[in-house]
Amino acid sequence: MSHIQDVLLPDGTVVTARISEADGYGDQEDVGFTEAAVAKVERLQELITGVGSSVLSAARAAGPSEAAITFGVELTAKEGLAVAVLARGETKASLEVTLTWQFDRPGGQAGGQADGQAGPPVPAPHE
Protein backbone atom coordinates (compact mmCIF):
# COMPACT_ATOMS: atom_id res chain seq x y z
CA MET A 1 0.00 0.00 0.00
CA SER A 2 1.23 3.54 -0.62
CA HIS A 3 0.21 7.06 0.31
CA ILE A 4 1.25 10.67 -0.35
CA GLN A 5 3.15 12.40 2.43
CA ASP A 6 5.39 15.44 2.92
CA VAL A 7 9.02 14.46 3.52
CA LEU A 8 11.55 16.70 5.29
CA LEU A 9 14.95 16.52 3.55
CA PRO A 10 18.20 16.95 5.51
CA ASP A 11 18.63 20.53 4.20
CA GLY A 12 15.17 21.53 5.51
CA THR A 13 13.39 21.33 2.15
CA VAL A 14 9.97 19.70 2.24
CA VAL A 15 8.95 17.54 -0.74
CA THR A 16 5.76 15.59 -1.30
CA ALA A 17 6.36 11.93 -2.14
CA ARG A 18 4.39 8.74 -2.64
CA ILE A 19 5.64 6.39 0.07
CA SER A 20 5.33 2.63 -0.43
CA GLU A 21 5.24 0.50 2.68
CA ALA A 22 7.11 -2.78 2.89
CA ASP A 23 5.00 -5.94 2.87
CA GLY A 24 3.48 -6.77 6.25
CA TYR A 25 3.75 -9.97 8.21
CA GLY A 26 0.49 -11.82 7.64
CA ASP A 27 -2.34 -9.80 9.15
CA GLN A 28 0.00 -7.74 11.33
CA GLU A 29 0.89 -4.19 10.36
CA ASP A 30 3.39 -1.74 11.88
CA VAL A 31 1.23 1.39 12.12
CA GLY A 32 4.15 3.75 12.87
CA PHE A 33 6.53 2.27 10.31
CA THR A 34 6.05 4.75 7.46
CA GLU A 35 6.00 7.84 9.67
CA ALA A 36 9.28 6.81 11.31
CA ALA A 37 10.88 5.92 7.98
CA VAL A 38 9.92 9.19 6.28
CA ALA A 39 11.96 11.15 8.82
CA LYS A 40 15.11 9.33 7.63
CA VAL A 41 15.39 10.24 3.95
CA GLU A 42 19.09 11.22 4.06
CA ARG A 43 20.02 9.12 1.03
CA LEU A 44 17.92 11.17 -1.40
CA GLN A 45 20.40 14.06 -1.53
CA GLU A 46 23.30 11.60 -1.73
CA LEU A 47 21.68 9.84 -4.68
CA ILE A 48 20.95 13.03 -6.64
CA THR A 49 24.41 14.46 -5.92
CA GLY A 50 26.09 11.22 -7.01
CA VAL A 51 24.19 10.97 -10.29
CA GLY A 52 24.73 14.68 -10.99
CA SER A 53 28.48 14.47 -10.32
CA SER A 54 28.84 11.48 -12.65
CA VAL A 55 26.99 13.22 -15.47
CA LEU A 56 28.93 16.46 -14.95
CA SER A 57 32.29 14.62 -15.15
CA ALA A 58 31.28 12.88 -18.37
CA ALA A 59 29.94 16.12 -19.86
CA ARG A 60 33.14 18.03 -19.08
CA ALA A 61 35.15 15.30 -20.83
CA ALA A 62 32.90 15.44 -23.91
CA GLY A 63 32.87 19.26 -24.05
CA PRO A 64 29.26 20.07 -25.00
CA SER A 65 27.75 23.54 -24.59
CA GLU A 66 25.00 22.08 -22.40
CA ALA A 67 24.32 18.83 -20.56
CA ALA A 68 21.12 17.55 -18.95
CA ILE A 69 19.83 14.39 -17.33
CA THR A 70 16.34 13.44 -16.19
CA PHE A 71 15.80 10.40 -14.01
CA GLY A 72 13.20 8.97 -11.68
CA VAL A 73 13.65 8.36 -7.98
CA GLU A 74 11.45 5.99 -6.01
CA LEU A 75 11.12 6.32 -2.24
CA THR A 76 10.43 3.06 -0.43
CA ALA A 77 10.04 2.58 3.31
CA LYS A 78 12.18 -0.39 4.29
CA GLU A 79 13.17 -1.54 7.78
CA GLY A 80 12.81 1.88 9.43
CA LEU A 81 14.50 3.85 6.64
CA ALA A 82 13.07 5.65 3.63
CA VAL A 83 15.38 4.51 0.85
CA ALA A 84 15.84 6.56 -2.32
CA VAL A 85 16.62 4.40 -5.34
CA LEU A 86 16.85 5.09 -9.04
CA ALA A 87 13.61 4.03 -10.65
CA ARG A 88 13.71 1.59 -13.56
CA GLY A 89 12.36 2.84 -16.88
CA GLU A 90 8.90 4.28 -16.44
CA THR A 91 8.07 2.60 -13.17
CA LYS A 92 6.14 4.31 -10.42
CA ALA A 93 8.71 7.04 -9.73
CA SER A 94 7.55 9.40 -7.02
CA LEU A 95 10.05 12.06 -7.99
CA GLU A 96 11.46 13.15 -11.34
CA VAL A 97 14.76 15.01 -11.19
CA THR A 98 16.22 17.10 -14.03
CA LEU A 99 19.71 18.56 -13.71
CA THR A 100 21.00 20.94 -16.43
CA TRP A 101 24.40 22.58 -16.74
CA GLN A 102 25.34 25.27 -19.25
CA PHE A 103 29.04 25.58 -20.07
CA ASP A 104 31.05 28.51 -21.47
CA ARG A 105 31.26 28.47 -25.23
CA PRO A 106 34.42 29.42 -27.13
CA GLY A 107 34.62 33.09 -28.07
CA GLY A 108 33.10 34.41 -24.84
CA GLN A 109 29.49 33.54 -25.62
CA ALA A 110 27.12 33.12 -22.69
CA GLY A 111 26.50 29.74 -21.17
CA GLY A 112 28.33 29.20 -17.88
CA GLN A 113 30.42 31.01 -15.33
CA ALA A 114 33.18 33.35 -16.50
CA ASP A 115 36.00 31.09 -15.25
CA GLY A 116 35.06 28.27 -17.63
CA GLN A 117 33.58 26.10 -14.88
CA ALA A 118 30.06 24.79 -15.08
CA GLY A 119 27.57 26.82 -13.13
CA PRO A 120 25.12 25.28 -10.68
CA PRO A 121 22.38 23.06 -12.12
CA VAL A 122 19.54 25.04 -13.66
CA PRO A 123 16.13 23.64 -12.58
CA ALA A 124 13.97 22.60 -15.51
CA PRO A 125 10.55 24.26 -15.75
CA HIS A 126 7.66 22.10 -14.56
CA GLU A 127 5.24 21.03 -17.26
pLDDT in tens, 37-47: 554 566 677 77
Q: Within a domain: residue 115? A: no
Q: Please check whether residue 65 lies inside any domain of the structure.
A: yes
Calculated CA dihedral for residues 73, 75, 78, 80, nearest 10 degrees = 130
Tell me if 116 is assigned to some domain: no
Q: What is the mean pLDDT of the chain?
A: 63
Residue 125 lies in a domain: no
* Highest mean pLDDT out of 6-15, 56-65, 75-84: 56-65
47 CB contacts (<8 Å, ≥6 apart)? 73, 84, 85, 86
Percent of the chain at pLDDT > 70 equals 31
Query: How far from the centroid of its chain's Cα atoms is residue 31's Cα?
Result: 27
Count the domains in the chain.
1
Q: Which domain holds residue 79?
A: 2-24+31-102
- The answer to the question of residue 123 being in a domain is no
The model carries a pTM of: 0.43
**75 in a structural domain:** yes
Residue 109 lies in a domain: no
Q: Is residue 119 part of a domain?
A: no
SS3 7: strand
pLDDT, residue 2, reads: 64
Predicted pLDDT at 92: 43
